[in-house]
Amino acid sequence: MAGLSVGQIRALFAQEAEGRLQSLSRLLLELEHTGGDDAVISAIFREVHTLKGSAAVAGLDHVSAVAHELEELVDDLRAGRRLVTPDVIDTLLAGSDRLEALISAPADDAAPVASGAATGRPDAQPAAGAAPVMNGHDVNGRASERDAPGGPAANGHGKPGAVAAPAPSPTPPPSRGGPNGSSAHSVVIVPTERLEELIRLVGEAASAHLRVGRLLTDRFDVTEPASYPEFNDLSRLLNQLQDKATRTQMVPVSTITDQLRRAVRDLARAQGKDVRWDERGADTELDRGVLRQLSDSLIHLVRNAVDHGIELPAERVAAGKPRHATIRLHAMQLGSEVIIAVTDDGRGIDVERVRERAARQGVDTDGLTEQELLELTMRPGLSTTSFVTDISGRGVGLDVVKSNVEAARGRVEIRSELGRGSEFRIVVPITLAVLRCLLVEAGGQRFALPFHRVVLTQAYDLTSQSHAEGRSVVWVNDQPVTVSALAHTLGLGRADSAGGPIVVLADGARRHAFYVDQLVGQRDVVLKGLSPVVLRVPAVAGASVEPDGSILVVLDPPGLIARAQHANRVAVLSPDVTRDGPRPRVLVVDDALTVRELQRSILERAGFDVRVAVDGSQALAKLAEETADVVLTDIEMPIMDGFALTTAIRAHPTLANIPVLILSSRASDGDRQRGLDAGADGYIAKSGFDEAGLLSAVHRLLGARV
């Protein structure tokens, strides 16, 4: 590696390690499933050994030391000195996470390269003083030989080092290749920005080609440019080039399946459930940006399946089911769309419970079909679970899954059978680079509307509209939909300049109709983002270039609807607290001033009427003066703690129905069970606390009780 700087060596190592760590994680999960396959153990050993040597060459002794600890444990498995157990897999996965965290940490380029790097020895041993993966003990709690001072397990202070397993990143990793981090074919690592620039230039070339065709027609009286073989050849080659360039942004679904499988495994183990993972069609490809947008939603769906869908083994056996449950991810391409289905064979969704919860939120459920009731589970704040946890209620509910999928121009479909299981299907376009659009004219200009947001187009005139609550409406499927003139909404005409066709657009549950001058047609549009120097307009998604060189503005339906309805702001997780009636009252109980005021600030910004108390005793006194709609309480407080407060609320004749949400730094299963036994409606650890999670949990509890 002569001639390479330390930074370059470490950059090469980071690229290699990324693929190897993905392969290692996949092999560890496979090892747990097979229960001790010798070939899998040998493959794991090779990955860890290579990582250890490469880290030493790169001068990353602390990484090499952790890899060495892992290597010794895997060697014990290979030699039969240890058995493959869930505890051993836990330790190895924690070590893999530790390696990932160390490698991704900012490198100190000034650090000297280890002797292994200088000599080129791939098996350079880790230096003393590096943190071990096993914390100086084996998986059975016995002291390890490596506890000796100065040994590999000793840290700089002569004490065993600790390894913390970082939380898995919600961002999908790059596409993996073979066991050595590359595919069976030659691979060249190219920055994403360069690929995006290539795609942009190909799009510009296609636009220039259209302008040439227009030029031939206008200036040289060529009525049919496509009749010339040379022009046809150029068109064909540009189409092929555009297709190939677009595919450079495609990645297989398998780039995130290891992350999903790991999430299922860890949660099932924590909850004492026996869950097997199955995946099909993981080689299905789609746009890297689309998959990145779906990552959080897919993680939520698989965790939700484990948490709510899958029963405990004893419950499954009593119901005549196999002891082990199955969660399956199935991906497939259908035309220009990709379908990713998450299926479980658990409890299924109780539609009657959904009906009950929806009715409590004021939804008219009379006459709704079973499928329409299932779709209500994606309504903000509606949940069939009676106990809010860090897994359910942290702000990534099904409503946010739906919003994220719609942001990727897709949709969510639900199928469920009570007692048999559920299936959530995410349907998204393969790529966001090309967008199917409806072209319309309004105010003398042409605009494009993304077709997946168009509900209906039809001819209307002023005599067909009616008025409701002072607004112009048209009737769509026996439902009134507010109508506006598109030109006026965009500032190009008067409010009364309406007539002609209408286009009904949808944004989740919101619908809005727009008058346009005429419907031009539909076609695929190569969407381009606006320059950063252009002031962002909420109703504009991007632009494209027309054959004559003019700019075609692509409108953003959600922003357009918000603008038409004069919305001051758009709710992120759930409907805004109403401003017309009394605001819901929340009592925050916490002896820590910082936490108390942070919660107050978040809730007041969301429109709640907030009071605070420093302990349970003061909280009860304030509830006696004025009741609350929700109580948020800490556990550890002077005079009266959160458990005692919850018990007292449940025992009080007039306070018993107030929802109680516990937020505490104590996150053990025993504490959660104590909270449930005391009568709490939810329990969220402060380590998992964020604004979105708090608001989602409060809205959910408000919607769960009358």
Lowest mean pLDDT segment, chosen from 126-130, 134-138, 308-312: 126-130
pLDDT at 322: 94
> What is the secondary structure of 684-705 as a DSSP string?
EEGGG--HHHHHHHHHHHHHH-
pLDDT at 638: 84
pLDDT at 341: 93
Q: 177 in a domain, yes or no? A: no
pLDDT at 390: 52
Of 219, 29, 498, nearest in space to 482 by CA: 498
Among 111, 134, 157, the domain boundary falls at: 134
State whether 420 and 276 are in the same domain.
yes
State whether 606 and 661 are in the same domain.
yes
Euclidean distance between CA atoms 622 and 616, whole angstroms: 10
State whether 219 and 291 are in the same domain.
no
User: Residue range 277-303: average pLDDT?
Assistant: 88
The answer to whether 134 and 163 are in contact (CB under 8 A) is yes
Select the highest-mean-pLDDT range: 11-15, 173-177, 278-282: 278-282
Q: 88 in a domain, yes or no? A: yes
User: Residue range 490-518: average pLDDT?
Assistant: 74
pLDDT at 687: 63
User: Residue range 324-329: average pLDDT?
Assistant: 94
pTM: 0.53
Residue 706: pLDDT band (50, 70, 90) is very low
Lowest mean pLDDT segment, chosen from 97-101, 112-116, 517-521: 112-116
Look at residue 166 and tell me whether its pLDDT is greater than 50. Answer: no
Residue 496: pLDDT band (50, 70, 90) is low
pLDDT at 137: 37
Q: 103 in a domain, yes or no? A: yes
Alpha helices in 394-517 (DSSP H): 398-407, 486-489
CATH of residue 304's domain is 3.30.565.10
- For 562-613, the pLDDT digits (tens) are 777 643 233 333 344 444 557 889 999 988 776 777 788 788 877 888 999 9
State whether 89 and 202 are in the same domain.
no
Look at residue 240 and tell me whether its pLDDT is greater than 90. Answer: no
Residues in the chain: 706
pLDDT at 141: 35
Q: 164 in a domain, yes or no? A: no
Of 357, 351, 374, 355, nearest in space to 365 by CA: 355
Among 411, 429, 447, the domain boundary falls at: 429
CATH of residue 46's domain is 1.20.120.160
Select the highest-mean-pLDDT range: 5-14, 32-41, 213-222: 32-41
pLDDT at 347: 92
Look at residue 397 and tell me whether its pLDDT is greater than 80. Answer: no
Q: 497 in a domain, yes or no? A: yes
**End-to-end Cα separation, the chain, in angstroms:** 70
State whether 503 and 439 are in the same domain.
yes
Among 205, 225, 248, the domain boundary falls at: 248
Look at residue 316 and tell me whether its pLDDT is greater than 90. Answer: yes
Euclidean distance between CA atoms 471 and 513, whole angstroms: 12
State whether 557 and 660 are in the same domain.
no
**Radius of gyration in angstroms for the set of CA atoms belonging to the chain, rounded to a whole number:** 30
If one counts the domains in the chain, the total is 5
Look at residue 388 and tell me whether its pLDDT is greater than 70. Answer: no
Half-sphere exposure of 113 (CA within 13 A, CB side): 19
State whether 285 and 422 are in the same domain.
yes
CATH of residue 466's domain is 2.40.50.180
Contacts of 272 (CB under 8 A, 6+ apart): 312, 313
User: Residue range 359-365: average pLDDT?
Assistant: 77
State whether 341 and 418 are in the same domain.
yes
Mean pLDDT, the chain, rounded, equals 74
pLDDT at 427: 87
Q: 32 in a domain, yes or no? A: yes
State whether 410 and 487 are in the same domain.
no
State whether 255 and 400 are in the same domain.
yes
Read off the tokens for 28: 């560890």
pLDDT at 122: 33
Look at residue 295 and tell me whether its pLDDT is greater than 50. Answer: yes
Coil, helix or strand at residue 4: coil
CATH of residue 630's domain is 3.40.50.2300
Select the highest-mean-pLDDT range: 48-52, 79-83, 155-159, 457-461: 79-83
Q: 182 in a domain, yes or no? A: no
Look at residue 85 and tell me whether its pLDDT is greater than 60. Answer: yes
- For 430-446, the pLDDT digits (tens) are 776 677 789 999 888 88
Q: 493 in the Ramachandran plot: left (φ > 0), alpha (ψ -120 to 50) or beta?
A: beta
- For 609-621, the pLDDT digits (tens) are 899 998 999 999 9
State whether 406 and 313 are in the same domain.
yes
User: Residue range 108-119: average pLDDT?
Assistant: 37
Read off the tokens for 27: 């092999």
- For 23-81, the pLDDT digits (tens) are 888 888 888 888 778 888 888 888 888 788 777 767 788 888 888 888 888 888 888 88
pLDDT at 28: 86
pLDDT at 498: 54
Look at residue 245 and tell me whether its pLDDT is greater than 60. Answer: yes
User: Residue range 179-189: average pLDDT?
Assistant: 50
Query: Of 105 and 677, which is predicted with more confidence?
Result: 677
Look at residue 242 and tell me whether its pLDDT is greater than 90. Answer: no
Alpha carbon separation from 549 to 203, 229, 439 (Å, rounded): 13, 24, 16
Q: 331 in a domain, yes or no? A: yes
Q: Which domain holds residue 74?
A: 6-134
Half-sphere exposure of 198 (CA within 13 A, CB side): 15
Lowest mean pLDDT segment, chosen from 58-72, 80-94, 319-333, 687-701: 687-701
State whether 500 and 556 are in the same domain.
yes
Look at residue 2 and tell me whether its pLDDT is greater than 60. Answer: no
